Amino acid sequence: MVAVLDFGSQYTHLITRRIRGLGVKAEIFDHNVSRKTLEKSSIEGIILSGGPSSVYKKNSPQIKKDILELNIPILGICYGCQLLVYSLKGLVKSGKTREYGEEIITIKKNDTIFQGLNRKEQVWFSHGDTVKKLPSGFKVLATTKNAPIAAYANLDKNIYGVQFHPEVVHTPKGNKILKNFLFRICHAKKTWKIDDIKNDLIKNLKNEIGDRKVILGVSGGVDSTVAAQLLYRAIKDNLYCVFIDTGLLRKNETNEVSGFFEKLGFGNFRKISAEDKFLSALKGIVDPEQKRKIFAKVYFQVFIDVVKKLEKKHQFHFLAQGTIYPDRVESGKTSKTSSLIKTHHNLSVPKKLGLQIIEPLKDLYKDEVRELGRSMGISEQLLGRHPFPGPGLAIRILGEITKDKIKILQEADAIFIEELKNYGYYHKVWQAFAALLPIKAVGVMGDERTYDFIVTLRAVTSRDAMTADWANLPNELLKKISSRIVNQVKGVNRVVYDISQKPPATIEYE
């Protein structure tokens, strides 16, 4: 097993995900973990995560010095890379030039951790501090134009550091680097597979729930559907699924979701129409965080009403949610040293509901969730659906929400998705959607001046939603989509395409 020490990085769980994807068991420990705890866990290697702090600042997270004496291979990533240097009496300072996003490293010697890589490789950086001087016994393995020490090693002690993030998809050879560390340096054993996850989750759910009843809000998306199927495997008809039509869904989505769950054979499925309640509560609201909080409040009020009605015949003990790790990592502090990015509606559970929370997918990423779904026989048509946010179009309509804007966005989004499918690009991108900007622009249609809305199109490539790059769609496809939207969607006279990466942008707009 490999121990991943968490120093507050948004990517800590992603490191673990990559290791498990290579077949090796991995577990996250707090950065302050004791040597004794690690020794009890049969650790084959240690990885120090990145983090938002500066190693030389007061109260920044540190590592216990005796862990560095365990004689177990260690890899430091970003903050972890700097921390190893700092802890071993090297020098780390604030960099004159910060590096964020894609960079090219020059590998000085491609043995050990860089074995099999080219002399120059693309990697993903996200740092402001830099290593200025290595401790005694260390040597430089790679550089960039702004970082003379982008990677290093002490071969005698099996200690390695990389200033970039090999765990993210935008370091193309990152998995190769991690594989070299796991199998060439740590000599780790392959003991991890998706069936183990499935069987363990079902077993744990059976033990935790017993013969009590669970209620689950479903959206028809991948996460809630896989969570529902997993729970159904564990407790059968003691699971009750509730689908709330918020009025903020994609075109025809209500009928599609109902059809999905009928085909899956769920007997206890309830569809609730609540469009007026959501639109009334969101009227005049423009702040993104306020939208999310209002949505959460209304959603759970509607949900509570459903529970109360059902509890006239059934007693519930648990509320299940399809929350996955990226929801948690961006919605709240997953450790004492991590940072908040946004509020997620699944995490605002009112205490008056009086139910215990179950989140069977909370430590998994989207690609793992899909893999888990396949292992349970869920169709590719459902598993291949693009992610859709809980608040739906409420956060894809920037500014005030109205019925007219919802209609405009539903139509524009439907055209975008239809053409992506027609051109064979829907399954080539991670996520694609249209959003409506809160501004209007002048146009000319039929020799008349118009003053209408701007639709922005977003399509990204990713593996897990922690990082994303804009999808380079063919010009002819974008032209076709733009032409159809402007000509067929009343109220739109301009279409733009978003070419921002995550980070610094997020995938969604709000």
Q: How far is CA 256 from CA 46, 228, 237, in A?
A: 46, 17, 22
Beta-sheet pairing, 269-273 with 239-245: parallel
Closest CA to 17 of 505, 372, 342: 372
**Alpha helices for 239-359 (secondary structure H):** 253-263, 275-282, 288-310, 325-331
What is the C-alpha to C-alpha distance for residues 449 and 187, in angstroms, rounded to an integer? 69
Which residues are part of the catalytic machinery? 78, 165, 167
Supply angle C-alpha 465, 405, 394, rounded to 5.
40
What is the C-alpha to C-alpha distance for residues 383 and 65, in angstroms, rounded to an integer? 45
What is the C-alpha to C-alpha distance for residues 344 and 387, in angstroms, rounded to an integer? 14
Supply angle C-alpha 344, 400, 505, rounded to 5.
50
**Alpha helices for 311-343 (secondary structure H):** 325-331
Q: Residue 504: is it exposed, middle or buried by C-beta count within 10 angstroms (0-12/13-18/19+)? A: exposed
SS3 of residue 490 by DSSP: coil
* Residue reference for tokens 């260690």: 74
φ/ψ region of 425 (left if φ > 0, alpha if ψ in -120 to 50, else beta) reads alpha
| Element counts in the chain: helices (H) and strands (E) | 14, 18
* Residue 311: partners with Cβ closer than 8 Å, 6 or more residues away: none
Positive or negative: CA dihedral 112, 113, 116, 118 = negative
Supply angle C-alpha 408, 414, 420, rounded to 5.
140
DSSP 148-171: S-SEEEETTTTEEEESS-TTSTTS
